[in-house]
Structure 1
């Protein structure tokens, strides 16, 4: 099981790297001047490749997490509220990941109207979710 835990941590860290960086590309995309077609296309290419790669990384991260959850039976019985809260964060992260895909499609179609400032704030969500998840797993406050 230690191998499963180790791989789970590696895939989670790798997935988060994408969740941290893709919104930074969105910041740059939101700042592209209307006539800068080459810059826009280069950033879109980077964003599409990163989104595809982070999706590939998310699948084993989630599968290994499910394996650990089922193997250890965590979440059953008293004192396991932390796991329910962590699972809620995982669902929120999956929603955030999906939302990044929606945003990418809107950028690709030229329909994104949000400012670079909005994306700077949007970029902070995975940091806060990771902080909360790590605290829940390590401290197990409830």
Structure 2
């Protein structure tokens, strides 16, 4: 199996990067939708239904598949011989940031369910602040993988 992973490495890495880009796009956009949903939309209105549909499609059709693909291809990279040296600190920091990114994804999913139930209590400011989370995590991940400072 490890021989196959080594042979497929360039393809696996390419598919991983493509998946990450799609996932990150959703992680950046969904909180912005929540800001506008919170600040500009009346619960139960047609616009509320429109935002709910956009948020649901973004999460289910783009973000969820992209997150799963990111994890699958990322784990394939982890198990490819010679790619990750777990005695270094960088893969552990990267793994922690990926787990935090996954937590954030699920946090957004829970917030979407609140909008569907008409039970959102968070102000737009909360979503603006939370919109910075994927940026910080992305910086950690990219620096750990490319520069490998630790």
Structure-1-length-normalised TM-score: 0.93
The partner residue of 1:93 within 90, 101, 105 is 101
Aligned length in residues: 140
CA distance in 2, matches of 1:20, 1:91: 17
| CA apart distance, 1:76 | 2.5
Aligned mates of 2:133, 2:43 — CA distance in 1: 31
Across the aligned residues of Structure 1 and Structure 2, the Cα RMSD in angstroms comes to: 1.3
Q: Which runs of 5+ in 1 are unaligned?
A: none
Whole-angstrom distance in 2 between the partners of 1:96 and 1:108: 19
Partner of 1:103: 111
Distance 1:32 1:101 in 2: 20
Moved more, 32-41 or 21-30: 32-41
Deviations 1:104-133 (A, max 9, x none): 001110111111111111111101110111
Distance 1:83 1:136 in 2: 7
Aligned residue for 1:29? 37
TM-score by length of 2: 0.89
Task: Please name the residue that 2:78 is paired with.
Answer: 69
- Check the 8 A contact 1:32/1:39 in 2, yes or no: no
Shift of 1:33: 4.2
Q: Is the 1:28–1:116 contact (alpha carbons within 8 Å) kept by the matching residues of 2?
A: yes
SS across alignment from 2:80: helix
Which 4+ residue blocks in structure 1 deviate beyond 4 angstroms?
A: none
Unaligned runs of 5+ residues in structure 2 are 1-8
CA displacement, residues 28-54 of structure 1 (integer Å, 9 cap, x when unaligned): 111134367011110110000000021
Q: Residue 128 of structure 2: which of 106, 120, 127 is its match? A: 120
Partner of 1:140: 148
**Residues of 2 paired with 1:3 and 1:65: CA distance?**
12
Aligned partners of 1:35 and 1:134: how far apart in 2?
Answer: 39
CA contact (8 A) 2:43 2:118 kept: no
